[in-house]
Amino acid sequence: MREPDAHDAHDAHGTAPAGAAVHPPHLAHHFKTLEQQSESVAFGVWLFLATEIMFFGGLIMAYILYRIWYPHDFAAGSHLLDIRMGATNTVVLITSSVTMAMAVWAAQVGRARTQVVYLVLTILLGSTFLGIKAIEYTHKWHEHVVPGPHFAWHGPDAPHVRMFFNLYFTMTGLHALHMIVGIGLVAALIPKCWKGRFGPDYNHPVEGTGLYWHFVDIVWIFLFPLLYLIGRH
């Protein structure tokens, strides 16, 4: 794996030897090559995402268990969710993943204005998702199914229906929080994209933010069938 090159000599002697290869301006001094630097970014972000899988995985596990134990109460709660809004949000989020992927592509080929356009589209689609989510939450509030003193259920087994909505609001709420963080991360990229900071050699911030954004999309790809679809027919 070791590739002896000019950087070794540079590090050992503190001065660049004559005729040494030009140190790429975007290569941090602790990496040997741009490839190694780029792989480290993907490795690091995926390590973080592994913790995120465990984070949402615990909630999904809890949801599966309660669904097995109280199938009828969970189906009753699930029937109150608006499947059209859930499906619309799925399409919105998948589309935002495409615009994010296109922003990474624009960074890889070094088109500054195109990056900005796709990142702005990603933010708009992410905000649309949160807007639809807010409308859904408002409906649930008016239907008195938000767990708390306001909660009212006239069916036979209120505590277990409340458990469904506890899990619904916890999972979708934490997902929405991740969306808000993602929108912030994407927004922070825009000034740098505008200045043309990212190109074929250096686009790690765009790539890393993209990985996070797509992961949040994947969480929703599982939340949508689990919460809205199963037990609907």
Partner 1 sequence: MAAHVIPPRVYLTVFTILLVLTAITVWVAFHDFGPLNVVIALAIAGIKSTLVILFFMHVRYSTRVVKITAASGFIFLVILIAFTLADVFTRGKLVVGK
Residues that bind partner 1 (CB under 8 A): 34-35, 37-39, 42-43, 46-47, 49-54, 57-58, 60-61, 64-65, 68, 83, 87, 90-91, 94-95, 97-98, 100-102, 105, 108-109, 200-204, 207, 210-211, 214-215, 217-218, 221-222, 224-226, 228-233
Q: CB of 184 within 8 A of CB of 15?
A: no
Q: How far is the CB of 161 from partner 1 (least distance, A)?
A: 20
Decide whether 3 or 17 has the Cβ nearer to partner 1.
3
Q: How far is the CB of 58 from partner 1 (least distance, A)?
A: 8
Amino acid at 184: G
Q: How far is the CB of 192 from partner 1 (least distance, A)?
A: 15
Decide whether 67 or 162 has the Cβ nearer to partner 1.
67
Q: How far is the CB of 144 from partner 1 (least distance, A)?
A: 25
Q: CB of 192 within 8 A of CB of 198?
A: yes
Which of 9, 7, 15 lies closest to 33 in space, CA to CA? 7
Decide whether 62 or 147 has the Cβ nearer to partner 1.
62
Q: How far is the CB of 14 from partner 1 (least distance, A)?
A: 28
Decide whether 12 or 47 has the Cβ nearer to partner 1.
47
Which of 203, 227, 28 lies closest to 108 in space, CA to CA? 203
Q: What does the alpha-carbon distance between residue 233 and residue 231 come to, in Å, rounded to a whole number? A: 6
Decide whether 169 or 222 has the Cβ nearer to partner 1.
222
For 54-65, the DSSP string reads HHHHHHHHHHHH
Token pair, residue 63, equals: 């949801």
Q: How far is the CB of 221 from partner 1 (least distance, A)?
A: 5
Task: Tell me the angle at which helices 158-194 and 204-224 cross, rounded to the nearest 10 degrees.
Answer: 160
DSSP state of 159: H
Q: What does the alpha-carbon distance between residue 77 and residue 166 come to, in Å, rounded to a whole number? A: 11
Decide whether 9 or 226 has the Cβ nearer to partner 1.
226
